[in-house]
Structures are given as C-alpha cells and as structure tokens.
C-alpha cells in the first residue's frame, strides 16, 4: 500500500493514511519495535520472500538499509503498513501487526512497492493506473492471496480464486489511499490487471508459498551469477 503521512507536503490531497498522534509511552513502544523487529532484521530477514526482494533491490542499485528505510509507527484504522514513496521508506504499523507471519507478509508487500519504485518511473501520486499496477503485483506476489490466508479469512473458491483475491485486495488498497470512487479504482485495476498480474519480477513466478519463494530465490541468485560472468 502506498502511504502518505499527514502533515507532509505531497502532490495532492487524494491519498492519506494518518499516523496516530504521539501519546505517553508511544515513543518507547516505537523504539522497542525498531530495535527488536526492524533494525536487527532477525525477525524477518530470513524469510525467503524478503531475502529475494532485498537481493533484487541491491542488484537494481537500491540497497536497503534497515535503519534508513524502515520505520515502526502507530497507525490509524486497520492499516498494517505502507510505502512512503516521497522518502523511500516502509512504515510498519506496530499497533496493527499481530504476529510474525503477518509482519513477514507486510514487509514483503511493501518491499514489492519499493522494488517497483526502484526499477520504474512510477507516478504514485497522480497516475492511478501506476498505483493499481503495483498493488496488483504486491497482492499477487507477497502471499496476501495464498490459499492458507484465504482459508483463514473464510474465503473459499476454486476457479480463478487467486485472481479474484488479487483484484479485490488491489482495489481495497487503492481506496484506502485515494479519495476516488470504487468504480474508478475497479476500472484502473481492470485496465492494468492482465499485464501486471503476469509481471512476476523479481520472483520469476508466483510464489504461492515459502517453498516456491525459496526456489525463486535460488533461481534469482543463479541468474545473477550468470549475468555477472558474461
């Protein structure tokens, strides 16, 4: 999800995910989150999805520094995280992330946005189709729509269920950050869906689970070694 912090200068009023006003103890909570979950990286840096994305970012010239590119904050609503493109920073909503698996998935989702920001000229703030494409890719490749997660949400279906989940979650993410109608968000997603759903970079496939993600990471490393030796 694209994130725009309130109170900062941005290119328009369309999108905003507000952060809670600091209250007693919140600074201490944020520091605990940074130290234990983000800056050390030990809680999620071993996740195969995250490992591949960190390698891909570095390979693309956008190496991730955990202290610089991550921030733990309290967020309003049920938002779990966001990518602030204006400062190239991922925000993790410490008050809404409930467990380690959730943390890993949020980090993966937002790193996909960061990867898109690195590799392409994404107009996050005025081109809803660009935003829609990255949201489709993030929902498709992060594990958001894995069979297990959908079962836990009590969402069932067989025929093209993954595609339906990706479309629905992309639309929801757009509506969370843009002051537009659902119809406009749906139109943007539908216009880019086929090409963006089939863009699997840097995984090279849809990593439906951690085993697929490990295979994708291995293939990425082998591909990187091959091109470095040409």
Q: Is 191 a catalytic residue?
A: no
- Active-site residue identified among 110, 183, 191, 194: 110
Reported as half-sphere exposure (CB side, CA atoms, 13 A), residue 12 has a value of 12
pLDDT for the residue numbered 32: 53
Assess contact for 17 and 1: CB atoms under 8 A: yes
**CA-wise closest residue to 71 among 55, 88, 54:** 88
Q: What value does the mean pLDDT of the chain take? A: 81
> For 200-228, how does the pLDDT look when each residue is reduced to its tens digit (9 = 90+)?
999 999 999 999 999 999 999 997 665 55
> For 54-99, how does the pLDDT look when each residue is reduced to its tens digit (9 = 90+)?
999 999 999 999 889 999 888 888 889 999 999 999 999 988 888 8
pLDDT for the residue numbered 78: 84
- Secondary structure letter of residue 36 according to DSSP: I
* Start-to-end CA span in the chain (Å): 37
- The pTM assigned to this predicted structure is 0.82
């Amino acid at each position: 999800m694209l994130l725009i912090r309130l109170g900062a200068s941005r290119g328009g009023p369309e999108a905003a995910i507000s952060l809670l006003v600091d209250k007693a103890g919140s600074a201490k909570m944020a520091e605990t989150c940074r130290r234990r979950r983000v800056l050390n990286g030990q809680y999620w840096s071993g996740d195969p999805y995250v490992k591949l994305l960190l390698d891909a970012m570095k390979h693309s010239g956008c190496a991730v520094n955990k202290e610089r590119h991550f921030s733990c904050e309290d967020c309003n609503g049920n938002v779990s995280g966001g990518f602030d493109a204006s400062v190239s920073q991922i925000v993790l909503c410490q008050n809404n992330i409930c467990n380690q698996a959730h943390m890993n998935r949020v980090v993966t989702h937002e790193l996909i946005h960061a990867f898109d920001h690195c590799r392409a000229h994404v107009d996050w703030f005025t081109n809803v189709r660009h935003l829609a494409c990255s949201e489709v890719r993030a929902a498709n490749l992060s594990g958001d729509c894995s069979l297990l997660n959908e079962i836990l949400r009590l969402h069932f279906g067989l025929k093209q269920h993954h595609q339906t989940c990706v479309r629905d979650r992309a639309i929801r993410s757009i509506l969370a950050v843009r002051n537009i109608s659902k119809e406009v968000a749906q139109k943007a997603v539908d216009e880019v869906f086929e090409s963006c759903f089939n863009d699997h970079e840097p995984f090279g496939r849809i990593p439906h689970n951690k085993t697929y993600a490990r295979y994708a990471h291995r293939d990425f490393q082998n591909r990187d070694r091959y091109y470095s030796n040409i």
